[in-house]
Amino acid sequence: MKNYSLFLLLFCLLAPGAVLADIADLAIPENKHSNEGQLAAEQSAKLFQSKDFQEKLSCEKHRLETEVFSEFIKPIKKDPREKSSSKILATDETLYLFLSSSMPDETVHNYLHSIAQTNSSEISPVMKGMVKGMADKKANLRYFSRILRNDLDCNDQREAEGVCSRFKIPIKMNPMLFKQFKIDRVPTLVYTTTNETVVIHGDASLVYLLEKINSEVKSTGLKNLIANFREKR
């Protein structure tokens, strides 16, 4: 038995190439379910892109806006009689400002105030979801009514007209955008076009974030937007 063990040890030491060759020949078995998984993924993508599914998605979005979010969407909808500001960014340029109710109210309010100052719809504030889920409508109403006030310290009950003035800025509730741009922290500003996307994180002024992005993309539209922000300061 000792002689056999000694022979085996000498064989491994003297002929390592043969041992390694045998190991290299070992093949990892194929996943027999890989084709099924790929087929299921293709079917899911086809279903999502289908006309029927998109129509159902649109109907559900409309239902949520009218039945669930209507109480706090109404105060921020623009008066159709108001003239919208001229478009500054190019057609394919989009800016998303990702925020969260977990951020201090003052921070969220400062960003909304910056956007409101320019009377611009070039930057879309986005939140992942409701403050305490869709079930607690009162909590959501209180939160959005509060952060959209022109003055955070204003109290509706103490105002002569019975209501504080508020920013007319639509806030998107879109968790899919968070997933699309892989947003895992806030605040985050995203600049996206047909050909490129730039993501910048950090609790800094909106102008600073815009300048950081434009230092990379060199956009005429962004340059003009930044000038517009500085002018309205």
Distance CA 6, CA 215 (A): 69
pLDDT, tens only, 90-116: 999 999 999 999 999 999 999 999 999
What local confidence, expressed as pLDDT, does residue 13 receive? 47
Name the residue with higher pLDDT: 177 or 49. Answer: 177
Distance CA 23, CA 25 (A): 5
Instruction: Kindly tell me if the per-residue pLDDT of 55 is higher than 70.
Output: no
Whether the pTM exceeds 0.85: the reply is: no
Instruction: Kindly tell me if the per-residue pLDDT of 18 is higher than 70.
Output: no
Q: Which residue segments constitute the domains of the chain, with CATH numbers given?
A: 69-232 (3.40.30.10)
Q: If you average pLDDT over residues 45-60, what whole number do you get?
A: 63
Distance CA 111, CA 227 (A): 17
Residues 6+ apart with CB under 8 A from 63: none
pLDDT, tens only, 67-85: 555 544 444 444 443 444 5
Give the residue among 109, 111, 101 at the shortest CA–CA distance from 133: 101
Residue pair 188/107 in contact by the 8 Å Cβ criterion? no
pLDDT, tens only, 185-209: 999 999 999 999 999 999 999 999 9
Distance CA 118, CA 122 (A): 10
Residues 6+ apart with CB under 8 A from 231: none
Name the residue with higher pLDDT: 220 or 12. Answer: 220
